[in-house]
Copies of this chain bind each other. A is one copy, B any other.
Amino acid sequence: MDKTKLLLQKLIAKGMTLATAESCTGGLLGKKITDLSGSSAAYLGGVISYCNDVKQRILDVSEEDLDAFGAVSEPTAWQMAEGVRKLLGANLGVGITGIAGPNSDETNKPVGLVFIGVSNGQTILVREYHFLGDRAAVREHACAEAVDLLLGLVGK
């Protein structure tokens, strides 16, 4: 079964809600979830934080961390996840930040570097990925891994 569909089914079965914070994927994860009819039973929505101001001001990512580590970093990913979870009042939050390419950002981090954070308000996980492929491939990989991390957090 499609893993996004599996995630949605598990969320609904457990009465849990989800919020998404997307930077490099720019709405792709939200799109994938809402491709599924009935997703409104678990998916509250999210924030596409394509610029740092939105990360900081709306998702409450620390300005100091953004300055010190950059937008594509572990602290940014988990703060996006926890920030959107709190903002929307969801059980689970996910944050995705990365370099989809073809160009890097001002930090010259490598294309394909993506950090994904997930939070249920008690446990926060962050993982670092180095995806190969073009912009579209990096974005697809990031969404697939985000769904996997969320599945892990939802449990069996």
Determine if B27 and A48 form an interchain contact, defined as CB atoms under 8 angstroms apart: yes
Contacts of A20 in B (CB 8 A): 27, 48
Cα–Cα, bound, A50→B42 (Å): 10
Say whether chain A's binding surface is mostly helix, strand, loop, or mixed: mixed
* A48:B45 contact, CB within 8 angstroms: yes
Which residues of the partner chain B approach A31 to less than 8 Å between Cβ atoms? 25-28, 30-31
Quick one: CB contact mask for A25-43 with B, threshold 8 Å, 1 for yes?
A: 1111111011101011001
Do the beta carbons of B39 and A89 come within 8 Å of each other? no
Q: State A44–B49 Cα separation when bound (angstroms).
A: 7
A44-78 to B contact mask, C-beta < 8 Å, 1/0:
11111111011000100000000000000000000
Count of residues in A whose CB is under 8 Å from the partner chain: 37
A53 to B87, CA, bound (A): 11
Q: Mark A85-102, 1 if CB is under 8 A from B, else 0.
A: 001110000000000111
A103 and B136 contacting across the interface, CB-CB below 8 Å: no
Q: Is A135 an interface residue (CB 8 A)?
A: yes
Question: Which A residues lie at the B interface, using CB under 8 A?
Answer: 20, 22, 24-31, 33-35, 37, 39-40, 43-51, 53-54, 58, 87-89, 100-103, 135-136
List the 10 shortest-distance A-B pairs measured between CB atoms, nearest first.
A26-B34, A27-B30, A27-B27, A45-B50, A45-B48, A27-B31, A46-B48, A28-B31, A45-B54, A30-B48
